[in-house]
């Protein structure tokens, strides 16, 4: 194994957890981000993009580059990739940061999605309501996360408010999907095309923000489990993706329907830090550094992750639970801000249920 210097575009909690996973592998980290104080402070070198000669300094100081967000500048990635490899590659980034392009790609590969239409005017929004049938979900095609940049139109009377809220952006209108729950599948692919798939997670959201992820998914039939694995493997190979890729899914009566993908480590995979033999963060680092991938399978019968949102809460309550692990990101309190997470494990789903009940104040806290 050759020691690597990994550059990360961004310095948030995902970069922090990549570094915490990679440092034991003798990897150094350099963070390209404007923040002077961040979750990655003291975990590596920080380079501010506004500083003199910052990009050249960043490129010279690393062997390989990755990023925290699908909203990363494509132009920046292209510039860096002329001199140093960037993983995941430009194709993965470009397809995932534009919702119309993304859903078209899914359909071209035979992956089911909601029906959708492009919207650039109020008249087109009214037409989409007629064609797709109400209710529909309207989203900006770029940016937007954790419920931001979207609106639900339940009746014709909602059209004006939705257009007023989102006007000025290219939009995508999606038909409503009748689903029983939301799932996600995470997998890592290395530079040689080897793939490791994590157990599928079931996710519960509040106001568009993930609150709880659980593994394994209760009563998921083998056909749907295989469908999720097939979808993620198909995308990984089609995109020639290196690193971790996440696919969000709706569990419908007739099968799984794709919602969105993220070319990065994902909130719904945080459980894997203690819950799997090799976390999503370590496998991402291994993949982009050319190391063999680790075992993604769960170590315990059941695991769960709770996001700490808005307020820190009673940390002692977490520390007093023998089956819980506390992960804080070094952030100040702010409504709807992800401040940390709690991983819970057990020898049975019932044991995890009991821990979640003792930690219910974190789940209910909405910032």
Q: What is the CATH number of the domain that holds 165?
A: 3.30.1490.20
How many structural domains comprise the chain? Answer: 3
Torsion of CA 326, 366, 183, 194, to 10 degrees: -40
The CATH number that applies at residue 238 is 3.30.470.20
Single residue among 41, 70, 86 that ends a domain in this structure: 86
- The verdict on 234 and 343 lying in the same domain is yes
Residue in the block written with tokens 């990655």: 40
Q: Is the peptide bond before 202 cis (omega within 30 degrees of 0)?
A: no
- In terms of domains, do 19 and 147 share one? no
Residue 102 lies in a domain: no
pLDDT digits (tens, 9 = 90+) for 222-231: 999 999 999 9
Q: Are residues 247 and 344 in the same domain?
A: yes
Q: Tally helices (H) and strands (E) across the chain.
A: 13, 17
Of the candidates 84, 88, 90, 72, the residue with the CA atom closest to the CA atom of residue 4: 84
Q: d(Cα 1, Cα 38) in Å, to the nearest integer?
A: 30
Does 105 map to a domain? Answer: no
* 281 shares a domain with 198: yes
Same domain, 147 and 197: no
pLDDT interval class at 207 (50, 70, 90): confident
100 domain residue, yes or no = no
Q: Are residues 187 and 315 in the same domain?
A: yes
Q: What mean pLDDT comes out for the span 330-334?
A: 95
Lowest-confidence segment of 49-63, 133-147, 216-230, 337-351 by average pLDDT:
133-147
Judge if 63 and 12 occupy the same domain: yes
Residues 189 and 166 in one domain: no
Rounded Cα gap, residues 85 and 179, in angstroms? 39
Q: For residue 93, is it within any domain?
A: no
**Do 360 and 217 reside in the same domain of the chain?**
yes
| Band (366; pLDDT cuts 50, 70, 90) | very low
pLDDT-based confidence at residue 89 (cuts at 50, 70, 90): very high
The residue segments making up the domain with residue 144 are 115-175
Smallest Cα–Cα separation from 244: which of 225, 202, 272? 272
Question: Does 13 fall in a domain?
Answer: yes
- Is 258 in the same domain as 308? yes
Residues 171 and 186 reside in one and the same domain: no
- CATH number, domain at 44? 3.40.50.20
- The answer to the question of residue 96 being in a domain is no
Please indicate, yes or no, if residue 26 is contained in any of the structural domains: yes
* Domain end position, chosen among 86, 101, 127: 86
Last residue of a domain, one of 160, 175, 190: 175
Residue 367 has what pLDDT?
A: 41
Residues 4-31 have pLDDT tens digits of 999 999 999 999 999 999 999 999 999 9
Task: Outline where the chain has alpha helix (H).
Answer: 13-22, 54-60, 74-81, 90-96, 99-108, 122-132, 159-166, 222-238, 272-275, 280-288, 315-319, 349-358, 360-364
Q: Please indicate, yes or no, whether the overall pTM of this predicted structure exceeds 0.85.
A: yes
Mean pLDDT of the chain: 95
**Closest-CA residue to 17 (of 309, 246, 272):** 272
Conformation bin of residue 219: beta by default, left when phi > 0, alpha when psi is -120 to 50: left
Residue 323 belongs to some domain of the structure: yes
Q: Taking residues 39-58, what's their average pLDDT?
A: 97
- If asked whether residues 248 and 304 sit together in one domain, one would say yes
Q: Burial-class residue 7 by CB neighbours within 10 Å (0-12, 13-18, 19+).
A: buried
């Amino acid at each position: 194994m050759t020691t690597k210097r990994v550059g990360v575009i961004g310095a948030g909690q995902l970069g922090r957890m990549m570094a915490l996973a990679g440092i034991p592998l003798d990897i150094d980290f350099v963070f390209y981000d404007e923040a002077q104080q961040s979750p990655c402070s003291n975990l590596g070198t920080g380079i501010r993009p506004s500083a003199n000669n910052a990009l050249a300094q960043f490129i010279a100081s690393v062997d390989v580059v990755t990023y925290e967000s699908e909203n990363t500048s494509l132009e920046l990635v292209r510039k860096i990739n002329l001199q140093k490899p960037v993983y995941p590659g430009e194709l993965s980034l470009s397809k995932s940061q534009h919702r119309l392009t993304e859903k078209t790609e899914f359909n071209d590969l035979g992956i089911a999605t909601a029906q959708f239409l492009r919207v650039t005017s109020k008249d087109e929004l009214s037409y989409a309501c007629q064609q797709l049938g109400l209710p529909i979900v309207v989203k900006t095609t770029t940016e937007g996360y954790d419920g931001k940049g979207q609106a639900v139109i339940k009746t014709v009377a909602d059209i004006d408010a939705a257009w007023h809220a989102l006007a000025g952006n290219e939009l995508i209108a999606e038909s409503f999907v009748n689903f029983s729950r939301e799932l996600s599948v995470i997998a890592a692919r290395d530079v040689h095309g080897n793939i490791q798939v994590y157990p599928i997670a079931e996710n519960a959201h509040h106001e568009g923000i993930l609150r709880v992820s659980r593994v394994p998914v209760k009563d998921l039939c083998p056909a749907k489990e295989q469908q999720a694995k097939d979808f993620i493997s198909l995308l990984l190979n089609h995109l020639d993706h290196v690193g971790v890729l996440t696919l969000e899914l709706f569990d419908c009566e007739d099968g799984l329907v794709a919602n969105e993908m993220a070319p990065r480590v994902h909130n719904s995979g945080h459980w894997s830090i203690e819950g799997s033999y090799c976390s999503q963060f370590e496998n991402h680092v291994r993949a982009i550094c050319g190391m063999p991938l680790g075992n993604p399978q769960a170590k315990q019968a059941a695991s769960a992750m709770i996001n700490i949102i808005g307020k820190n809460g009673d940390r002692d309550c977490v520390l007093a639970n023998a089956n819980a692990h506390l992960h804080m990101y070094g952030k100040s309190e702010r409504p709807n801000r992800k401040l940390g997470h709690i991983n819970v494990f057990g020898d049975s789903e019932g044991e995890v249920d009991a821990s979640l009940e003792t930690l219910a104040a974190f789940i209910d806290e909405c910032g």
